[in-house]
Structure 1
Amino acid sequence: MNVETITTPGGIDLAFDRIVGGDTGTVILVGGAFSYRKFPKMVELAQKLADEYGLTIVNYDRRGRGDSTDSPGVYDVENEIDDLAALVEAVGGKAAIFGWSSGAGLALLAAASRRIPGITKVVAFEPPFITNHENFVPPADLAATLHEMIAADRRADVVRYYMANAMGMPRLFAAIMRLTPFWKGLLATAPATAHDWAIMGPYMRGETLRPDDWASVEVPTLVISGGKSGALLRTAARAIADVLPNARHEEVTKLSHNPNIELLAPVSGEFLVGAERFAA
């Protein structure tokens, strides 16, 4: 597989892999915090959707990850929507969007922007909205602290800080990640967490989601949560599905935020190809 690249009107080089499975449609995969196109589960999901559902999958590096370039110090969700618009245009002008975690937030905001008329469907897997104060709410100064760490290239600190303070992971878990094989990838993508926060920060304050903010997401949307995920993510999935005008929510038993692709792919693929159970 040869990597493809485009340069967006904003001057960002985006790298992506295209996996051609058939003629049932094109789907762009949008990863979340610390994710990139070579992340093993993104690769596995791409291949499975192509092989089993005849979809053409575009798996790209968001800005600041993998082989894509970045805009250091400039963190604005509108820029990532522009990136996605350029990518949709480059792969044929029409595509469904599958987003995971903050990537799901980006997919929904892109659809809400109405700046990408080529979006045909959205699959949002566990967007991490925080709609109450029952579990965890990030600190109010998170953006300032995060930007300071990134500017100083304190990557290990960024990983630990973002995991504990933006994602709500136990601090011990964040600390022991440096002992795992994933640590190198976490350090490489750490600066891009500022983009994730630009997307999700306004919706992680413990406030109820407002229907007016999402009324323009008119494309068919599937919100997926896992039965093994924490209460925060399961609540978030129900909350966003409730305010979207054309959405349904599916909770998959035994699925978690670190998903088993054998469980995630079928519900996603069936929705994307218009299987009968999603026709109503």
Structure 2
Amino acid sequence: MDKKTISHDGTSLAYQRTGEGPAVILVSGAMSTGATVAPLAGPLAGRFSVVSYDRRGRGESGDTQPYAVAREVEDLAALIDAVGGEASLYGISSGGALVLEAAASGLPVRRVAVYEVPFAVYEGGAKERAEYTEQLEEALGQGRRGDAVELFLRLTGLAEEMIQSARNSPMWSGMEAIAPSLAYDNAVMGDGLVPLDRLAGIEVPVLSLAGSASPAWMREAARAVAETAPQGTYRILEGQTHMVDPNVLAPVLAEFFRTDGHRAPLSGGPGSVT
């Protein structure tokens, strides 16, 4: 990250800007930094000025306490101001929940795209989120960062043998380093359910994406986002999982974020599959 800006509460935010054109800000999900979404910058930089940044509490950004979701919305406001006062937003996983909240909060956003925000649309989803929240707060409160990471990996459905393999790998220390930010992503997700009232108040176009090879409930959650947002569109990326290929995703985002007025961003109306 080669640039810095300051959020409303004084938190330093590290970001990188690539390309020229209308601004697009990329927002990472849990257990990740700006480097996770940075591979999207190259394919988009020919048409857009692309910003990837370290969310507060990770990477080179600061972590002013106390945390609140509103502070992360202010972080996006600071970044939007730094890149010219208006931007489109893309968020993956829980980062998608953050950009939807930012749009609902009335930030100067042109368009919003999200990929597989893990809202619970299955029976018992809210209870599962509540149990995870309780266990996560306990682990982090006791300084058991490794246990907190394990809890998150189990929440994602990762098999126990893979979790233990990860715990014995060189990457584990880096995961423990940003484990406190798991509480931030959990707060962004709220009760885990689709935030119907907030989504209904978004006044800009929303593209909700999912991969055809991801679990069915993730596709259902993506569809629910599109159906609730007044200008929502739902689209499936064939062959993709939650670890979406940037080279598959980038052309879809580029088409949606176009603002030259010569072509509709995507066919279909609210909730449509394209």
Same fold at TM > 0.5:
yes
Counterpart selection for 2:74 from 82, 92, 95: 82
Q: CA RMSD in A?
A: 2.1
Structure 1, unmatched stretches of 5+, are none
Select 2:225's aligned residue among 231, 240, 263: 240
Are 1:63 and 2:50 counterparts?
Answer: no
Deviates more, 1:128-137 or 1:86-95: 128-137
Task: Give 1:162 deviation, angstroms.
Answer: 1.5
Match of 1:91 in 2: 83
Correspondence list, 1:63-142, <5 A = 63-72=56-65, 74-114=66-106, 116=107, 118-133=108-123, 138-142=128-132
Residues 112, 207 of structure 2: 8 Å contact kept: yes
Q: Residues 6 and 90 of structure 1 are in contact (CA less than 8 Å); yes or no, is this contact kept in structure 2?
A: yes
Displacement after TM superposition at 1:169 (Å):
3.1
The answer on 1:38 being equivalent to 2:35 is: yes
- Structure 2 residue runs of 5 or longer lacking an equivalent are 268-274
Contact preservation (8 Å) 1:138, 1:168: no
- Shift of residue 89 of structure 1? 1.1
Q: Aligned partners of 2:113, 2:17: CA distance in 1, in Å?
A: 19
Aligned: 1:188 with 2:188: no
Q: 1:276 to 1:161 in 2, by over 3 A?
A: same
Matched AA of 1:187: E
Q: Match of 2:35, as an amino acid?
A: K
Shift of 1:139: 4.7
How far apart are 1:237 and its partner, in Å? 0.2
Shift of 1:239: 0.9
Kept in 2, the 8 Å contact 1:28–1:96? The answer is: yes
**Residues 1:5 and 2:1 are matched in the alignment:** no
2:186 alignment counterpart: 197
Q: Quick check: 1:255 aligned with 2:253?
A: no
Distance (whole Å) between structure 2 residues aligned to residue 68 and residue 161 of structure 1: 24
CA distance in 2, matches of 1:55, 1:139: 36
Report how far residue 146 of structure 1 moved.
1.5
State the match for 2:265 in structure 1. Answer: 278
Cα gap change, 1:192 to 1:225, in 2 (>3 Å) = same
Contact 1:101 1:128 in 2 (8 A): yes
Q: CA deviation at 1:161?
A: 0.9
SS at match of 1:201: coil
Aligned residues: 265
Residue of structure 2 in register with 1:22 after alignment: 20
1:223 to 184, 208, 228: 208
Per-residue CA shift, 1:55-91, capped at 9, x if unaligned?
111101000010011135x332111111111111121
SS at match of 2:110: strand
What SS does structure 2 have at the residue aligned with 1:140?
Answer: helix
Amino acid in the other structure paired with 2:77: A
- What letter corresponds to residue 90 of structure 2 in structure 1? F
CA distance in structure 2 between the partners assigned to 1:98 and 1:139 by the alignment: 24
Q: Is the 8 A contact 1:159 1:187 kept in 2?
A: yes
1:180 Cα offset (Å): 4.3
In the alignment, what sits opposite 1:169?
A: 158
Deviation of 1:266 (Å): 1.2
CA separation of 1:139 and 1:221: change in aligned 2, threshold 3 A: closer
The CA distance in 2 between the partners of 1:210 and 1:83, in whole Å, is: 21
Distance 1:139 1:107 in 2: 20
CA distance in 2, matches of 1:156, 1:202: 24
Structure 1 residue 185: deviation in Å? 3.1
Q: What SS does structure 1 have at the residue aligned with 2:187?
A: helix
Range moving further from structure 2, 188-197 or 75-84: 75-84
Give the % identical residues.
36
